[in-house]
């Protein structure tokens, strides 16, 4: 074996002291005792699977003044995220085959962690032409930053009919465009009223009939109404730390707090956290969507929606584990195991045959989030001063990537979707 990593690992549903043997980037053995040329003993520190962030916006191509694959995946690595999925609303959007393949080349040259690309869907595109190159498809049922809108039932039905034979996951930005108020908002409360919870529930309900025959994932659920609508179908779902931990009252940074879907009332936040804690929400996702400080300091109605989060997502929720708000089992499931299961990845668990994507952390070492110390190009965070537990070491396919606050090793992120030739 190339390497043995020893410590208290999350293995077979509980923490136990084991040795993890790594060979050719995969977990080759998990036993009480193993020998190898290289042995790293983390004593009583915790070893977890690397997190998979199923919802990020790396902003490349077209908006690289906000982020790019190099800075965004570096940020991911420091947060314990060893695989990211990038959304299609770039410039140009990844709808056409040429644009998907071009973005793949960009990511492959720059990524520090593994990645997958979502394909966009328009009212005239054929998703089947890019199915072999994308991790899944994204449908925007409402207008948001750079989205390709599918608001009408006939267009959504056409898209789902074309996607169904591909067996790919369809992630949906579920806000009903017809229920949004088209007005200039002066602040967070008005922004929330313009994009009400009813719009979320309506969009989810419109998809319920198709959910039983397809893998439909509802992105960034925010409200009690949205949670109720999920029960009407066979969906998977995701929630973000900013909707789980913040609300329209507690987030005081005005334009910096503007996001789609909006931050909700405290009652919605608490209901969402309860649903996440008891497993009614499948996955944790950051919806990492950075903008520059200058863009966020404009007049509120001109501020673009979106917040960064790929680096702080898991550490913030790990601090919630320490506080007893959620269990470690629930967090590992939502951030690691369930994303791997939903999207069919050889990641997300510490078991033989999986990628040796691992993070090492000490739950006794509680830090605070500081925008100055984060690695996103945007340089700010909504969670300034919040408690977080960052990993002390991160491994990607058995190679040490982050250690004691520094980036080490080589850039080796790769596409998790095999690139096969697509007929012209």
Catalytic positions, please?
287
Question: What is the C-alpha separation between 189 and 187, in angstroms, rounded?
Answer: 6
Query: Where do runs of H (alpha helix) occur along 111-245?
Result: 153-163, 188-194, 197-211, 224-230, 241-245
Residue whose pair of structure tokens reads 């017809």 in the numeric block:
178
Token pair for 96 = 């056409």
Cα within 13 Å of Cα(400), Cβ side: 17
Distance (Å, rounded) from C-alpha 400 to C-alpha 39?
12
Report residue 275 as tokens: 């649903």
Tokens representing residue 39 in the block: 């042995």
Q: Where do the H-state alpha helices sit in 164-237?
A: 188-194, 197-211, 224-230
Query: What token pair was written down for 3?
Result: 């390497």
Report the distance separating Cα 414 and Cα 237, nearest Å.
Answer: 26
> Which pair of structure tokens corresponds to residue 369?
């989030």
Give CA–CA dist 185/258, Å, rounded.
10
Q: Say if residues 296 and 80 touch (Cβ distance below 8 Å).
A: no
Q: Comparing C-alpha atoms, which of 242, 315, 304, 307 is closest to residue 272?
A: 242
- Residue 190 half-sphere exposure toward CB, CA atoms < 13 A: 10
Chain centroid to Cα 279, Å, comes to 17
């Amino acid at each position: 074996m190339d390497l043995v990593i020893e410590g208290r690992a999350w293995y077979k549903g509980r923490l136990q002291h084991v040795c993890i043997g790594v060979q050719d980037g995969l977990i080759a053995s998990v036993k009480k005792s193993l020998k190898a040329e290289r042995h790293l003993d983390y004593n009583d520190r915790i070893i977890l699977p690397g997190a998979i962030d199923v919802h990020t916006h790396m902003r490349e191509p077209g908006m690289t003044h906000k982020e790019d694959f190099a800075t965004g995946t570096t940020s991911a690595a420091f947060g314990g995220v060893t695989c990211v999925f990038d959304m299609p609303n770039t410039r140009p959007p990844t709808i056409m085959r040429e644009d998907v393949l071009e973005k793949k080349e960009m990511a492959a040259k720059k990524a520090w962690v593994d990645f997958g690309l979502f394909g966009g869907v328009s009212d005239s595109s054929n998703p089947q032409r890019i199915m072999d190159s994308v991790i899944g498809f994204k449908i925007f049922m409402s207008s948001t930053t750079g989205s390709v809108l599918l608001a009408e039932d006939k267009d959504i039905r056409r898209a789902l009919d074309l996607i169904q034979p591909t067996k790919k996951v369809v992630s949906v930005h579920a806000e009903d465009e017809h229920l949004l108020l088209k007005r200039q908002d002066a602040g967070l409360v008005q922004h929330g009223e313009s994009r009400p919870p009813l719009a979320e529930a309506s969009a989810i309900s419109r998809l319920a009939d198709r959910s039983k025959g397809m893998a439909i994932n509802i992105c960034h659920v925010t409200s009690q109404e949205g949670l109720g609508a999920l029960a009407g179908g066979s969906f998977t779902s995701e929630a973000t730390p900013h909707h789980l931990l913040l609300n329209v009252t507690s987030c005081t940074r005005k334009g910096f707090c503007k996001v789609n879907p909006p931050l909700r009332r405290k009652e919605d936040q608490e209901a969402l956290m309860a649903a996440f804690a008891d497993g009614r929400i499948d996955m944790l996702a950051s919806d990492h969507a950075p903008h520059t400080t200058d863009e966020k300091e404009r007049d509120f109605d001109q501020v673009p929606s979106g917040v960064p989060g790929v680096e702080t997502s898991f550490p913030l929720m790990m601090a919630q584990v320490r506080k007893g708000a959620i269990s470690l089992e629930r967090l590992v499931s939502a951030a690691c195991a369930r994303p791997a299961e939903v999207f069919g990845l050889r990641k997300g668990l510490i078991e033989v045959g999986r990628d040796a994507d691992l993070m090492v952390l000490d739950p006794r070492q509680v830090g605070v989030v500081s925008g100055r110390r984060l690695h996103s190009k945007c340089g700010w965070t909504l969670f300034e001063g919040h408690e977080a537990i960052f990993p002390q070491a991160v491994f990607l396919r058995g190679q040490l990537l982050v250690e004691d606050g520094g980036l080490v090793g080589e850039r080796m992120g790769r596409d998790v979707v095999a690139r096969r030739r697509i007929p012209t």
